[in-house]
Amino acid sequence: MDIQALRATAQQLVAPAKGILAADESTGTMARRLESIGAESTEENRRDYREMLFRTVGASDYVSGVILYDETIRQKAADGTPLVEVLQAQGVIPGIKVDAGLTALPGAEGELATQGLDGLRERLAEYRELGARFTKWRALLNVGPAIPSSYAIEVAAHGLARYAALAQEAGLVPIVEPEVLMDGGHDVERCEEATEALLREVFRQLAVQRVALDGMLLKPNMVVSGSSAPNRARAQEVAERTVALFLRIIPPAMPGVVFMSGGQSDDDATTNLQAIAVAGAKAEAPWQLTYSYGRGLQALPLATWAGESANVKKAQRAFLHRCRVTSAARQGAYEPAMEKELAAV
């Protein structure tokens, strides 16, 4: 294992002012996203939409890497250039989602497990050939009155560590993504409790399976209230709980935490990240705290594009705007007045 190269890539991904664009929606998820704007989910439409994002001039000031899906890493832009090369030409690092999605966890009602370990060693080698330098694997816990169970937590953590060890062996930085899902009416304490139990088990499994923490990144949820909770925690509380929890359990050897937006609105994803950046700086957090947003960066450009080539320029302006404000938030420099800048261009 070339730990120096892994460490260098991990550090590049969380470079100051930068974060990651998660554009690794599976074909099923992408179909839902395209349906929401009235566009058909054809291979060409999926390509055109992602090419629009990847060719946004200036976005590489804020985006260090892009997580791709299996279809996209093999796709060519309309002019025949592989999409991977479109990214590389701008100094953006291509990454790839390598899990194969979720399935019911046997004997555990309402709980899920991630698939994709079978044949993973071979797939990782192929993705490296195709230009990927980092990878992502998502494990997910649902929250309910009697869940997550310790069984689901153990399975999630074990799979994440198995994946991370294989990714490092292949010379690919693993992004370890343990997500406590925001869906539900649970309060912020419940989210914190589940996040703590999961992260503790994840770092235990990473140690057991000999993963080099300095050559990986963690992609967790923020500690937030359930999406339908009656009194949702505000940014200050989200930030204080998230940073305090991480300081208790995440080793400083790990270069960076790259948050998901996880179904938060654009506004919440930005203001919570801003508060986390401020709280992290105050606490002298040892890791970079930044973004690996899917919806948090894409919701606005997707709606603006609406499947029409005539809207490409406008959608790229919207994407650049989301990148700029999210990067500002990551640096603790976001102000709501920045939202007016888009209207001004």
Q: Which residues are annotated as catalytic?
A: 177, 219
DSSP string over 18-64: -EEEE----HHHHHHHHHHTT----HHHHHHHHHHHHT-TTGGGTEE
- Tallying the residues shown for the chain, one arrives at 345
Q: Examine residue 295 and tell whether it contacts ligand 13P (CB under 6 A).
A: yes
Please state the closest distance from residue 171 (CB atom) to ligand 13P, in A: 22
Q: Which is nearer to ligand 13P, 83 or 180 (CB)?
A: 180
Q: Which is nearer to ligand 13P, 203 or 259 (CB)?
A: 259
Query: Which residue among 63, 260, 279, 302 contacts ligand 13P (CB under 6 A)?
Result: 260
Candidate segments 30-38, 58-66, 245-253, 289-297, binder of ligand 13P by CB under 6 A: 289-297
Strand 63-68 to 93-97 pairing: parallel
Candidate segments 52-60, 249-257, 259-267, 315-323, binder of ligand 13P by CB under 6 A: 259-267
Q: Which is nearer to ligand 13P, 19 or 207 (CB)?
A: 19
Candidate segments 28-36, 50-58, 229-237, 293-301, binder of ligand 13P by CB under 6 A: 293-301
CB of 75 closer than 8 Å to CB of 108: no
Binding to ligand 13P, residues 170-229 (CB under 6 A): 177
CB of 214 closer than 8 Å to CB of 5: no
Q: Examine residue 33 and tell whether it contacts ligand 13P (CB under 6 A).
A: no
Rounded-to-integer distance, Cα 228 and Cα 127, Å: 39
Structure tokens at 17: 């002012």
CB of 178 closer than 8 Å to CB of 220: yes
Query: Which residue among 123, 133, 138, 186 contacts ligand 13P (CB under 6 A)?
Result: 138
Strand 288-293 to 112-114 pairing: unpaired
Q: Which residues bind ligand 13P (CB under 6 A)?
A: 22, 138, 177, 260-262, 293-296
